[in-house]
């Protein structure tokens, strides 16, 4: 029997037991795993807990479900490549220059016939295209004048209510009045940055981080101070603490749940400490939770905002990674900066398009959003596994690769003398889009890293593309 | 017979002849005007020209169409109030502070039961609600994955093509590749400002001007240099020329076609000179043409951009005043700043919502956009007349009032000791929203002016509201 006094969740302990059996060879590849009912008896846990344990193992690629037959041990594809090391960004704040690379990546994402390892876009095949468009159609027909009218900030009440309802799952308890809807998380982040900075100010952010944030920092005339990142646990808080002492930092920006490109997950104790650190110095914290719903572990991770008692955390997200990038529906819960953000929204876009907001609200309320999320989480975890495996089979042995805890991107370290920017050029000539590492750093570090998006289903074209990439990498190394 | 060697358009001469007959009493109120065919024979012009002449008279409120019966002379409502004088803004560049007033006006526009003289919003009753929402619904059902996918800048090609086609009517000849779609004209203006300024820069703009522009100037840390405005012909170009000599101006911003709040129309020769002035000094010009399609005269006025040979003019507009504010579809033709604006769009909203763009494109292509525009132009001209008349009948005699050439707002000068800000407060307490004059000036001038929006159909509630306003004004003066 499992000791339920342990701090880790019960299902994790069950999963751990099964994992030991797999690794020890008690359960071999292809073996049928005990039924859920059987497992619940063996470990004296509820059926729900056993199911959670199995889903967790499935998400990690150790077992797989076969229709109407149960769970089986998968051929273990143990990654042999090392993970990248903790990043070592420059300790000085710097101006940024990633704009042109972002434009080129956006352009590549629109080119027909290009293998889409570049932009971090979910494949439309994984999105509820028909259902969502039908909901929008139905709302458009019913809405009358409402659909044509401005949804002045703070945005559609139905949507804010649905998001507030879901906030319980993130360990927090926001109300509809805490939210302002935005044109994607992009607008949310831009508004937050503008609300708490003036040009020349220093923004502490993760290294590597999403290039869109770096581009915004550049465009608003801010300086980036890059904080080292551990590939599994995210921001190095000792380094942040030091930086907060040494520099006059206007705002911190972090992606605790599945940093893009690392897929790291900041442990809860770190989140608490992070909020502590910024609270003590009264520095606002922008938390980007856009990947939070795409966890591979069984539980939805908390947001750092859940530890915030002083309204310093500005929580941002959108439905662009889970439902509909093209609907442009995001939101921000800007804490004590609510009025400022609401006012700035009038100068940015005035309002968010009404009907897409209402359609997203309807889908989240009645469209089976949770079932949909379960499905794409499994698919992304699997695609991450497949792409990792393909890279491992063909890339040079010095290659390093992340083990993401969520999201759908991989961060791949190539041999030191390979230029990711050159590889990006050559790959694009072969109709393969990848995101070169320097895009993810204000100082254009990570010269030998690439980000590989796994948002699209595995295919023979993807397989060939990995082959071509490995050929190019080997020729360059 | 009319002398066609005259420089004014033929139809204007026909209209002028008829106007003389009305003013001289040859045609009296209630008289039937000669049929279009008859007029074409009398004046030896084509039927088309005669129709143009009649529409022009109708738009100016001199004649009215009665269904299946023809045109009749209207009861002449000659305005007795004077027009406001040319504005006299401060000659120094100043920081701006209108944010909170804009927020309050936006809030008031959402309040149920408030008489909407405040925000310059078209009434949903005047918009093609059912048709447009049906088009969106149909496109949403047909679009599949396209509807859910990003429309990366520059935005939907179908929409850019339709706008480019229409640009011929504005005296210019832009191609689909000249445009970038935006989340309303708000985003277009913000992107243009950001593309050519850095904080602390001076923006030359009209006084009075739309408070949204002033709010953006404030939010981006810019300084406003206000140029005097003539209530009929718009920007005082002598004053602009002087300002361009004396100040280091980063960008000019102008609304040549129907400045909000004045409704002024810059004559073509002025537009040419304006472009000349900025070209000689290589100063970019942001042209906001959001009201351009709402002309009361028979012809669609040109854009100043049509005189631009060096790509300095950044032309902005949207469909928010003519079709659907809540769809958030606007555009910019940024001239030589195209790449910069496209790149900044990635930091602002990433993309414009796809389906609303496609629906607007469909309506403009196949929905009878021109017929719709003819209808709302007539309605707005009529509403402007009615509200003007009601104000004239009840406000104190020192009141001044504009004679707009297009758009749907009136700018009303109250007796000098009436505080528009206080009137705004007291009116809101009576559930009447108006826009106080200081919102339209960086220096919060126009303390005794109000803007009255005529975007909503005349009603007994509107009539009562004008009565209440006049009562409040008289008590305060």
A347 contacts B212? CB cut-off 8 A? yes
Structure-token pair, residue B116: 């909407």
Q: What whole-number distance in Å separates Cα of residue A251 and Cα of residue A191?
A: 13
Q: Which of B125, B146, B152, B455 best probes binding to A when mutated, by most A CB atoms within 10 angstroms?
A: B152
Residue of A nearest to B348 (CA): A187
Residue of B nearest to A184 (CA): B349
pLDDT value at residue B7: 46
A133 contacts B138? CB cut-off 8 A? no
Position A3 confidence tier, pLDDT thresholds 50, 70, 90: very low
Strands (E), B312-465: 313-318, 330-333, 400-401, 409-413, 432-433, 435-436, 449-453
Residue B111 contacts A where some CB pair is shorter than 8 Å: no
pLDDT value at residue A171: 95
A183 contacts B346? CB cut-off 8 A? no
B133 contacts A140? CB cut-off 8 A? yes
pLDDT value at residue B290: 98
B350 contacts A212? CB cut-off 8 A? yes
Cα dist from B36 to A297, B373, B382, whole Å? 77, 22, 21
The overall average pLDDT reported for chain B is 91
Residue B263 contacts A where some CB pair is shorter than 8 Å: no
> Is A20 or A296 the better-scoring residue by pLDDT?
A296
Give the pLDDT confidence of B285-324 residue by residue, as tens digits. Answer: 999 999 999 999 888 999 999 999 999 999 999 999 999 9
Q: In this structure, are residues A342 and A153 in contact, taking their beta carbons and an 8 Å threshold?
A: yes
Q: What whole-number distance in Å separates Cα of residue B198 and Cα of residue A223?
A: 15
Q: Which residues in chain A have their CB less than 8 angstroms from residue B132's CB? A: 148
Q: In this structure, are residues A184 and A316 in contact, taking their beta carbons and an 8 Å threshold?
A: no
Beta carbon pairs, A and B, within 8 Å: 227
ipTM score for this prediction: 0.83
Position A284 confidence tier, pLDDT thresholds 50, 70, 90: very high
- Calculate mean pLDDT across residues B390-404: 92
B328 contacts A183? CB cut-off 8 A? yes
Q: What is the pTM of this model?
A: 0.84
- B26 SS3 class: coil
Q: Which of B100, B123, B132, B183 best probes binding to A when mutated, by most A CB atoms within 10 angstroms?
A: B183
- Calculate mean pLDDT across residues B136-141: 94
- Calculate mean pLDDT across residues A430-445: 93
> Is A103 or B459 the better-scoring residue by pLDDT?
B459
- Calculate mean pLDDT across residues A401-430: 94
Cα dist from A37 to A33, A48, A51, A59, whole Å? 11, 10, 9, 20
Q: Which residues in chain B have their CB less than 8 angstroms from residue A212's CB? A: 346-347, 350
B148 contacts A186? CB cut-off 8 A? no
Q: Which of A133, A157, A193, A318 best probes binding to B when mutated, by most B CB atoms within 10 angstroms?
A: A133
Cα dist from A200 to A249, A340, B447, whole Å? 11, 20, 36
pLDDT value at residue A315: 98
Q: Residue B96 pLDDT more than 80?
A: no
Q: What whole-number distance in Å separates Cα of residue A73 and Cα of residue A213?
A: 41
Q: Which of B100, B146, B147, B221 best probes binding to A when mutated, by most A CB atoms within 10 angstroms?
A: B147
pLDDT value at residue A6: 43
B328 contacts A350? CB cut-off 8 A? yes
B350 contacts A326? CB cut-off 8 A? no
A136 contacts B215? CB cut-off 8 A? no
Residue B375 contacts A where some CB pair is shorter than 8 Å: no
- Calculate mean pLDDT across residues A382-388: 92
pLDDT value at residue B8: 65
Residue A99 contacts B where some CB pair is shorter than 8 Å: yes
Q: Which of A326, A340, A439 best probes binding to B when mutated, by most B CB atoms within 10 angstroms?
A: A326
DSSP code of residue B296: S
Give the pLDDT confidence of A214-239 residue by residue, as tens digits. Answer: 999 999 999 999 999 999 999 999 99
Residue B460 contacts A where some CB pair is shorter than 8 Å: no
Q: Which of A147, A185, A192, A341 best probes binding to B when mutated, by most B CB atoms within 10 angstroms?
A: A147
Residue of A nearest to B131 (CA): A141
Give the pLDDT confidence of A305-359 residue by residue, as tens digits. Answer: 999 999 999 999 999 999 999 999 999 999 999 999 999 999 999 999 999 999 9
With pLDDT > 70 as the criterion, what percentage of chain A qualifies?
Answer: 96
Strand partners, B295: B406
Instruction: Give me the residue from A347, A350, A352 closest to B219, CB to CB.
Output: A347
Q: What whole-number distance in Å separates Cα of residue B125 and Cα of residue A32?
A: 65
Q: What whole-number distance in Å separates Cα of residue B397 and Cα of residue B401?
A: 11
Q: In this structure, are residues B354 and B153 in contact, taking their beta carbons and an 8 Å threshold?
A: no
The overall average pLDDT reported for chain A is 91
Residue A211 contacts B where some CB pair is shorter than 8 Å: no
Instruction: Give me the residue from B103, B124, B199 closest to A342, CB to CB.
Output: B103
Nearest to B382 by CA among B411, B401, B397, B404: B404
Q: Which of B128, B191, B219, B350 best probes binding to A when mutated, by most A CB atoms within 10 angstroms?
A: B350
pLDDT value at residue B77: 52
pLDDT value at residue A232: 92
pLDDT value at residue A12: 84
Give the pLDDT confidence of B140-180 residue by residue, as tens digits. Answer: 999 999 888 888 889 999 999 999 999 999 999 899 999 99
CA of A118 vs chain B CAs: smallest distance (Å): 14
Instruction: Give me the residue from A147, A150, A194 closest to B219, CB to CB.
Output: A194
Q: Which residues in chain B have their CB less than 8 angstroms from residue A356's CB? A: 353, 355-356
Q: Which residues in chain A have their CB less than 8 angstroms from residue B122's CB? A: none
A216 contacts B103? CB cut-off 8 A? no
Strand partners, A116: A433
Residue B216 contacts by C-beta under 8 Å, 6 or more apart in sequence? A347, B186, B189, B190, B193
Taking only residues 118 to 157 of chain A, the set having a beta carbon closer than 8 angstroms to any beta carbon of chain B reads 121, 124-125, 127, 129-130, 132-134, 136-138, 140-141, 143-153
With pLDDT > 90 as the criterion, what percentage of chain A qualifies?
Answer: 68
Q: Residue B10 pLDDT more than 90?
A: no
Instruction: Give me the residue from A136, A145, A186 closest to B349, CB to CB.
Output: A186
Q: Residue B392 pLDDT more than 60?
A: yes
Residue of A nearest to B154 (CA): A107
Residue linked to tokens 């890059």: A226
Position B3 confidence tier, pLDDT thresholds 50, 70, 90: very low
- Calculate mean pLDDT across residues B41-63: 85
Residue of A nearest to B152 (CA): A106
B187 contacts A199? CB cut-off 8 A? no
Residue B472 contacts by C-beta under 8 Å, 6 or more apart in sequence? B423, B426, B427, B430
B110 contacts A133? CB cut-off 8 A? no
**Sign of the torsion angle spanned by Cα atoms A333, A338, A343, A344:** negative
Q: Residue B353 pLDDT more than 50?
A: yes
> Is A83 or B432 the better-scoring residue by pLDDT?
B432
Q: Among A370-374, A395-399, B71-75, B226-230, which stretch is predicted with the lowest mean pLDDT? A: B71-75
- Calculate mean pLDDT across residues B59-81: 74
Structure-token pair, residue B34: 């000669």
Residue of A nearest to B137 (CA): A137
Alpha helices (H) along B197-336? 211-219, 237-246, 268-281
pLDDT value at residue A7: 47
- Calculate mean pLDDT across residues B417-422: 94
B149 contacts A325? CB cut-off 8 A? yes
Q: Residue B95 pLDDT more than 70?
A: no
Q: Residue B45 pLDDT more than 80?
A: yes
pLDDT value at residue A447: 94
pLDDT value at residue A1: 43
Residue of A nearest to B216 (CA): A347
Give the pLDDT confidence of B241-269 residue by residue, as tens digits. Answer: 999 999 999 999 999 999 999 999 999 99
Instruction: Give me the residue from B124, B144, B152 closest to A149, CB to CB.
Output: B124
Q: What whole-number distance in Å separates Cα of residue A205 and Cα of residue A229?
A: 10
> Is A122 or B332 the better-scoring residue by pLDDT?
B332
Q: What whole-number distance in Å separates Cα of residue B316 and Cα of residue B427?
A: 33
A353 contacts B327? CB cut-off 8 A? yes
């Amino acid at each position: 029997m499992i000791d339920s006094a342990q701090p880790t969740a019960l299902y994790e302990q069950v999963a751990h037991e099964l994992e030991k059996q797999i690794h020890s060879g008690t359960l071999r590849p292809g073996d049928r795993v005990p039924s859920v009912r059987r497992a619940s008896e063996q470990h004296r846990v509820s059926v729900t807990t056993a199911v959670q344990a199995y889903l967790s193992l499935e998400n990690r690629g150790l077992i797989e479900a076969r229709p109407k037959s149960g769970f089986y041990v998968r051929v273990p594809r143990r990654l042999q490549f090392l993970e990248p090391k903790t990043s070592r960004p420059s300790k000085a704040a710097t101006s940024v220059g990633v704009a042109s690379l972002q434009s080129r990546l956006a352009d590549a994402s629109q080119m027909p016939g290009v293998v889409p390892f570049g932009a971090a876009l979910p494949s439309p095949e994984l999105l509820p295209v028909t259902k969502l468009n039908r909901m929008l159609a139905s709302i458009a027909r019913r809405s009358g004048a409402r659909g044509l009218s401005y949804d002045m900030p703070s945005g559609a009440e139905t949507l804010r209510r649905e998001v507030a309802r879901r906030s319980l799952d993130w360990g927090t308890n926001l109300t509809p009045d805490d939210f302002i809807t935005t044109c994607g998380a992009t607008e949310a982040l831009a508004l937050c940055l503008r609300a708490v900075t003036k040009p020349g100010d220093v923004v502490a952010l993760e290294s590597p981080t999403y290039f869109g944030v770096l581009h915004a920092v550049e465009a608003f005339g801010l300086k980036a101070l890059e904080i080292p990142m551990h590939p599994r646990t995210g921001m190095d808080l000792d380094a942040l603490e030091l930086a907060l002492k040494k520099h006059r930092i206007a705002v911190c920006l972090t992606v605790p749940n599945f940093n893009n490109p690392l897929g790291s997950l900041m442990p809860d104790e770190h989140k608490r400490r992070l909020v502590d650190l910024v609270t003590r110095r009264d520095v606002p914290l922008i938390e980007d939770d856009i990947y939070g719903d795409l966890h591979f572990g069984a539980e939805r991770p908390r947001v750092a905002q859940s530890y915030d008692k002083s309204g310093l955390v500005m929580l941002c997200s959108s439905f662009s990674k889970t439902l509909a990038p093209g609907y442009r529906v995001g939101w921000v819960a800007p804490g004590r900066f609510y009025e400022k953000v609401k006012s700035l929204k009038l100068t940015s876009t005035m309002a968010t398009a009404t009907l897409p907001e209402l359609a997203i609200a309807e889908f989240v309320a009645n469209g089976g959003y949770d079932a949909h999320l379960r499905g794409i989480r499994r698919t992304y975890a699997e695609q991450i596994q497949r792409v990792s495996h393909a890279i491992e089979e063909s890339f040079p042995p010095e290659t390093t690769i992340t083990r993401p805890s969520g999201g759908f991107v991989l961060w791949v370290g190539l041999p030191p003398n390979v230029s990711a920017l050159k590889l990006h050029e050559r790959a694009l000539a072969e109709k393969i889009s990848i995101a070169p590492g320097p895009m993810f750093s204000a100082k254009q570090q990570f010269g030998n890293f690439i980000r590989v998006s796994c948002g699209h289903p595995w295919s023979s074209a993807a397989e060939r593309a990995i082959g071509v990439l490995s050929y190019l990498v080997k020729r360059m190394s």
